[in-house]
Amino acid sequence: MFPASRPRRLRRTPALRELTRETFLRPEAFVYPLFVRKGKGVKSEIASMPGQYHFSPDTIVTEAGAALEDGVRSVLLFGLPDAKDPQGSEAWADDGAVQQATAALKKAFPDLLVMTDVCLCEYTSHGHCGVVEKGGVVNDATLPLLAKAAVSHARAGADLVAPSDMMDGRVAAIREALDFEGLTDTAILSYAAKYASAFYGPFREAAGSTPQFGDRRAYQMDPANVEEAMREIALDIDEGADLVMVKPALAYLDVIRRAKDAFPVPIAAYNVSGEYAMLEAAAARGWLDRERAILETLTSIRRAGASIILTYHAREAARLLR
Ligand code: PBG
């Protein structure tokens, strides 16, 4: 006798498949990362990330407006400074690119959620995410600099600051500085489990943030570890993180799932530049169906347990979901 169960029965028609679908993508849960530098009228394509651009504070408003039209309500800003120095002082300049863009975006679209990446690597001459002494990144001396950057972003109007440096104690330092300035409503999305990954390659070209010596393994996590990710996330929540992130996404879907099951906070996942570039490169050669691959990728991240997805495909995916 043939088995009584025939799972194919529920896959027979589109209506049956939609009736039984378990995972849904929502454009409201996408965050669109954008790169900004000072100036006017800038929109130049990033070679390592086709379809992504460097903007200036005026053109970024146009782009965010188009994203809103597509249904994407959140952006994450990365800044490119005019000049770099060992401390990365443009990171907290009140007239920095991120600060200018944040103010312009909030003025044009008060309801747009503006998030800012808080890190020093784009701003330091050595390309590391903190203060360098004797060839190493010093943890505690870096914290006040990150806090200054976060405060300047929040003052410019950022709804949420996202520290991506992986220094110990930075969430507490940032929370304390924000509260001291009366910026108690500014939320913190911590890059809590951020791995030392090869998949940031295209971003480093886009942000000019490649370390000039060594690598980031003494502060970002070892790709082999998941228990440690749970500890990092627990610490950041304890220090006051409102949301936590796992990064990258695709090679770390198991980490997303573990985080989702273990912690009662929204989990964000960053579908990083290398993941974007791989898909785009294969699609450009006709080796992948681009649109299907985009939605399948994002669905896998959502299915793994991410409530929030940071993705360079945000606009496109939102349009595909219409
Ligand atoms: C800055 C930062 C990086 C990314 C986000 N914030 C690069 C890095 O850590 O080297 C990567 C984003 C991406 O690859 O899309 N610390």
CATH, residue 216: 3.20.20.70
Separation between Cα atoms, residue 98 and residue 102, nearest integer Å? 6
Is residue 260 annotated as a catalytic residue, yes or no? no
In this structure, how many other beta carbons lie within 10 angstroms of the beta carbon of residue 54? 21
Number of domains present in the structure of the chain: 1
In this predicted model, what pLDDT tens digit does every residue of 19-59 receive, in sequence order? 999 999 999 999 999 999 999 999 999 999 999 999 999 99
Residue 69 lies in a domain: yes
* Residues 189 and 244: beta-carbon distance below 8 Å: yes
Residue 188 lies in a domain: yes
* Residues 267 and 242: beta-carbon distance below 8 Å: no
Residue 12 lies in a domain: no
**Ligand 1, pocket residues at CB < 6 Å:** 117, 119, 121, 129, 164, 200, 203-204, 209, 272-273
Residue 134 lies in a domain: yes
- The boundaries of the domain holding residue 87 are 24-320
Residue 2 lies in a domain: no
Pocket test for ligand 1, best of 80, 164, 189, 297 (most atoms within 8 A of CB): 164
Residue with tokens 């001291």: 180
In this predicted model, what pLDDT tens digit does every residue of 164-174 receive, in sequence order? 999 999 999 99
Residue 10 lies in a domain: no
Candidate list 38, 84, 134, 247, residue with the active-site label: 247
Residue 152 lies in a domain: yes
Band the pLDDT of 91: cuts 50, 70, 90: very high
Residue 17 lies in a domain: no
* Residues 244 and 259: beta-carbon distance below 8 Å: yes
* Residues 319 and 70: beta-carbon distance below 8 Å: yes
Q: What is the pTM of this model?
A: 0.97
